[in-house]
Structure 1
Amino acid sequence: MTSEPDSRAQPTPRQDDCPSRGSIVGHGLDVVDIADFSRLFRDPAKDFLDKYFTKAEMSAAGDGVTQIQRLAGRFAVKEAVMKALGAGWGNGIAFTDVEVVTLESGAPTVVLKRKLSELALERTVAGWLVSVSHTSTVAVASVIATSY
């Protein structure tokens, strides 16, 4: 007895359906502990929030109970971007040089500024795949830099 193929099954991916090895420039992953991160919101540290976040990021995080969780997620994205680029903070690179923005679709992405923008061009980064999530205790971000 032969069985008919299941028309609901997903087709097997072909080699040309998958991105080539050269299309991924780097990957970064970061996890932020919410309790540790919340120290930034206590005096006197909260006076320096603009050192870590742009005005647009602060506005997008909103107010209320989940503000710290949302900002922790953005902070994790910033760290993951640096890891994907193989770079570190300092030497002319600031936390605000990575701005986390939300596309109309609701998906997060990043905009790089100053030296980081130049570094991304040197590394042939053409786009970013960004995933971020949080709970009341932890925020996590995964960032993949893709090439031309």
Structure 2
Amino acid sequence: MAVVGIGVDVVDVERFAAVLRRTPSLADRLFTSGERAVEAPERLAARFAAKEACAKALGAPPGMSWHDAQVVTDPSGRPRLRLSGTVAAVAEGLGIRSWHLSLTHDGGVAIAFVITEN
């Protein structure tokens, strides 16, 4: 396997939470219902960072839908990306077969790192 793309994103948790408070409908546009079930602002900020990092790892092509890159948690507690629609199509076109996602939050920031491989 070879690395196809790398993406990283950092989100200021309080700033992100303030934006969601000012514009509640934004959460519906950015996150699936399963992702919105995560109530802690730092965890939601980390999921947003993951979506941004995913886009960067794909080269940030236009037209991708936020809902087409969903952050889910596997039974062991590890975060994973579940792709569909526009994001899955871009990934398939790039020959991506494997995704690695790491999330963290501390000190008022949330960070996501994504690596894709073929």
TM-score by length of 2: 0.92
After superposition, give the CA deviation of every residue in 1:4-42 in whole Å (9 maximum; x if it has no partner): xxxxxxxxxxxxxxxxxx521100011001121012331
Alignment of 1:81 with 2:54, yes or no, is yes
Give the structure with higher Rg (CA).
1
Equivalent pairs counted in the alignment come to 118
Work out the CA distance in 2 between the residues paired with 1:37 and 1:48: 11
Which structure's relative contact order is higher, taking Cα pairs within 8 Å and 6+ residues apart?
2
Alignment of 1:55 with 2:33, yes or no, is yes
Question: How much is the aligned-residue C-alpha RMSD, in angstroms?
Answer: 1.4
Contact 1:40 1:49 (C-alpha < 8 Å) held by counterparts: no
Alignment of 1:124 with 2:103, yes or no, is no
Q: Which runs of 4+ in 1 moved over 2 A?
A: none
TM-score by length of 1: 0.74
Q: Which residue of 2 aligns with 1:69?
A: 42
Q: Which residue of 2 aligns with 1:7?
A: none
Q: Which structure carries more strand by proportion?
A: 2
Work out the CA distance in 2 between the residues paired with 1:92 and 1:24: 23
The share of aligned pairs that are identical, in percent, is 38
Q: Which residue of 2 aligns with 1:28?
A: 7
SS for the counterpart of 1:133 is strand
